């Protein structure tokens, strides 16, 4: 098969690659669409120890079953694979399973990804594609589930009606935009701000949101002014920004994974009882809820997605790396 292979730092190549082999309780899926995630970019930059070259990246996948159960069925893939037997799995927190793995990673378990013509997937991670959802758009399900989980974690912790909150989303990438769309269209929030530094992406977010979309230095994004903040970037600078802008008793949901180091104001967190929580992936229930959201077109037409051919995947990675990509999400089509 053809695949876009991460071969070394800052390099992906469109190559002939070994076909996946059919395994017990798994199916081979012919990929229709596969998105490039921020974590794929971290790997591309040599900053993810869980993804070591050579490796096929990509875990945002839709396609058609080629071999295995339900051959010919159009499907959406949940790429997060848990053991199914531990305490976390048995209490609805599969995303925190200590033995979890992800399609498109090779540590702790080797799982080639979806930036290819075919991918092997456990049957328990395969969901039917709703008839109302276009298969190439369905690859957005995974980042939508990430965003839904982040929003609902913040909603749970704030213990106030979420529709009454003043909310800030930091970052206009896929997770930031999707979080804002979920807040607007499924949570009925009216007082939402989104900050983004990239002018091209800023305009895309403005075209698709009712929220105020602003540069981070805009005077409307002021100190001690937000009840719920989602940091969808994850830089030291954005973490510090979130704490600076947070109200007493507010909640900051840290969803970005750009870097892990740096310092920030623990004193303010303590004195003003600000809750800072990390969020990782989603539960199986979150994924099911996400499919319903997409099936019912609750977050819009998704026309902000950019599609490119898989064979041009190296150009897509370069566009994202260079910051010249206006779209918050590029999906590759084999």
pLDDT at 263: 83
| Residue 138 within a domain | no
Write out the residue range of the structural domain in which residue 244 sits. 144-278
Say whether both 206 and 112 belong to one domain: no
Q: Taking residues 99-124, report their average pLDDT.
A: 96
* 247-282 pLDDT tens trace: 999 999 999 987 777 888 889 999 999 999 999 999
How does pLDDT run across 283-324, given as a tens digit for each residue?
A: 999 999 999 999 999 999 999 999 999 999 999 999 999 999
CATH number for the domain spanning 266: value is: 3.40.50.720
Residues 84 and 180 in one domain: no
**Cβ contact 195:215 at 8 Å:** yes
What CATH number does the domain containing 43 carry? Answer: 3.90.180.10
The count of structural domains within the chain is 2
Q: Are residues 119 and 243 in the same domain?
A: no
Residues 117, 19, single domain; the answer is: yes
Of residues 119, 23, 166, 143, the one with CA closest to residue 334: 119
Based on the domain organization, do 150 and 119 belong to the same domain? no
- 270 is a domain residue: yes
Residue 100 resides in a domain = yes
The answer to the question of residue 289 being in a domain is no
This prediction has a pTM of 0.97
Are 34 and 7 in a shared domain?
Answer: yes
């Amino acid at each position: 098969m053809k695949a876009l292979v991460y071969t070394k730092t800052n390099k992906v190549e469109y190559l002939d690659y070994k076909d996946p082999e059919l395994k017990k309780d798994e199916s081979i899926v012919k990929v229709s669409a596969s998105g490039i995630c921020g974590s794929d970019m971290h790997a591309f930059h040599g900053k993810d120890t869980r993804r070591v070259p050579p490796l096929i990246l990509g875990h945002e996948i839709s396609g058609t079953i080629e071999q295995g159960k339900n051959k010919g069925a159009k499907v959406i893939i949940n790429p997060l694979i848990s053991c199914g037997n531990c305490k976390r799995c048995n209490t609805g927190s599969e995303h925190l399973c200590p033995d979890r793995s992800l399609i498109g990673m090779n540590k702790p378990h080797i799982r080639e990804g979806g930036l290819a013509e075919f991918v092997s997937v456990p049957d328990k991670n395969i969901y039917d594609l709703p008839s109302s959802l276009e298969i190439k758009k369905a690859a957005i399900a995974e980042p939508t589930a990430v965003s839904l989980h982040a929003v609902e974690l913040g909603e749970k912790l704030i213990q106030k009606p979420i529709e009454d909150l003043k909310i800030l989303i930091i970052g206009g990438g896929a997770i930031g935009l999707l979080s804002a769309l979920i807040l607007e269209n499924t949570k009925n929030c009216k007082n939402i701000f989104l900050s983004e530094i990239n002018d091209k992406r800023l305009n895309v977010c403005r075209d698709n949101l009712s929220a105020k979309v602003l540069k981070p230095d805009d005077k409307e994004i002021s100190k001690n002014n937000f009840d719920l903040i989602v940091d969808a970037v994850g830089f030291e600078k954005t973490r510090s920004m979130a704490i600076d802008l947070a109200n007493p008793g507010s909640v900051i949901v840290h969803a970005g994974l750009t870097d892990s180091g740096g310092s920030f104001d623990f004193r303010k967190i303590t004195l003003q009882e600000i809750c800072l929580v990390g969020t990782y992936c989603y539960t199986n229930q979150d994924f099911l809820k996400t499919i319903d959201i997409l099936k019912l077109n609750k977050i819009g037409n998704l026309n902000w997605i950019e599609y490119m051919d898989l064979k041009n995947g190296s150009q897509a990675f370069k566009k994202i790396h260079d910051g010249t990509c206006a779209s918050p999400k590029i999906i590759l089509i084999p």
